Amino acid sequence: MGIILTDTKLQEIQEKVEHGERLTIEDGLYLYETSDLLGVAQLANKVNSEKNGDHVYFIENMYINPTNVCEANCSFCGFKRKPGQEGAYTMDSETLLRYVEERWNDNIREFHIVGGHNTDVPFDYYLDTIRTLKKNFPQVTVKAYTGAEIEFFSRLAGISMKEVLEELIKAGLDTLPGGGAEILTERYRAKMSPDKASTDQWLEAHEIAHGLGLKTHATMLYGSIESNEERLIHMDRVRQLQDKTNGYMVFIPLAMQPRSVKAGLKRRTSAFDDMRTIAISRLMLDNIDHIKAYWINIGVQLTQMALTFGSDDIHGTLIEERISHSVGALTSQGITRDELIHLIKSANKTPVERDTFYNIIKTY
């Protein structure tokens, strides 16, 4: 059965999609405005089916936040602490290994490492974190340090971002996570994350990583002060870099979490906005294979819905996520493999366990 659209302008966008023509920012704005949300979903679902069939990917992974001490003052963050503040911590090698061993199981494929911009420790500390994990768990992929952290290390160590990345790769770095992107416009960054890497610096960190042979991830943190146009500019910046390097594996729209778990509906993104943004991401990012629905932020049931709105990846088992939960995420901090498989199968899709690089480990 073909796609049924009630909106003539949407039919024009459908023609473009079917002829493999790239959508413009204006097209994206229309996709945000049309009342035919299910029409947008159908278009995104068709593009996803052509790219990924009925596969839905997940990974068994563990989050590690080695330090929460941070120099930056991002207005959306509840995770960071100042040096000496109550609750501030910095794991040494022993604490790090104990943390992992207490949560370990033999299916874990990936360590996802993000921390504060901590000026109390040298760049070597961040290298040692990777070395320690690689030495003790050589089979696990290390996905560590956002583009913003790479720019911070460059300032901390007084070396170029390229040199930072070369040192990290020598220590055992396998890929960069997608965080630190927030919204890639300077208006947004000046207000929300003034002390962190600029738009150009974040993109440059990833471009250098791609040039050094790393495949990386890209996120977008939506749902605060940005306009729909800024979301689309963000997608376009990522898409332009992908044209150049083909280094991104996946795009991950992240719904902003309010500072308090008690925050009412007005403080959270709506289900409509979450589904629409995932669908639009799939339609705009024609040169990126995977769109991830992040169950930590939107919850398990919306994540299941997202599988018909253009998403083909639901992230992972994520043992003890701290950053979204420190600002009021309502979801649990981890999910079992069986729950993930059930979630995918009950959406009439095929669960595929993957490694970090989307190589298939097992189809269920």
Residue ranges for the known binding site are: 70, 74, 76-77, 182
335-289-49 Cα angle (round to 5): 85
Residue 214: both structure tokens together = 């790393």
Nearest to 362 by CA among 139, 58, 52, 138: 58
Which helix (H) or strand (E) segment holds residue 156: the answer is: helix 147-157
Distances (CA, A) of 355 to 109, 181, 262, 364: 6, 23, 36, 15
Which are the contacts of 92, defined by CB distance < 8 A and separation ≥ 6?
A: none
Handedness of CA 176, 178, 183, 185 (dihedral sign): positive
- 221 close to 181: Cβ distance less than 8 angstroms: yes
Nearest to 176 by CA among 186, 164, 185: 164
Amino acid at 204: E
Residues in the annotated binding site for [4Fe-4S] cluster:
70, 74, 77
Residues in the annotated binding site for S-adenosyl-L-methionine:
76, 182
Secondary structure class of 219 (helix, strand, coil)? strand
Handedness of CA 141, 147, 152, 158 (dihedral sign): positive
Distances (CA, A) of 203 to 3, 218, 248: 36, 10, 11
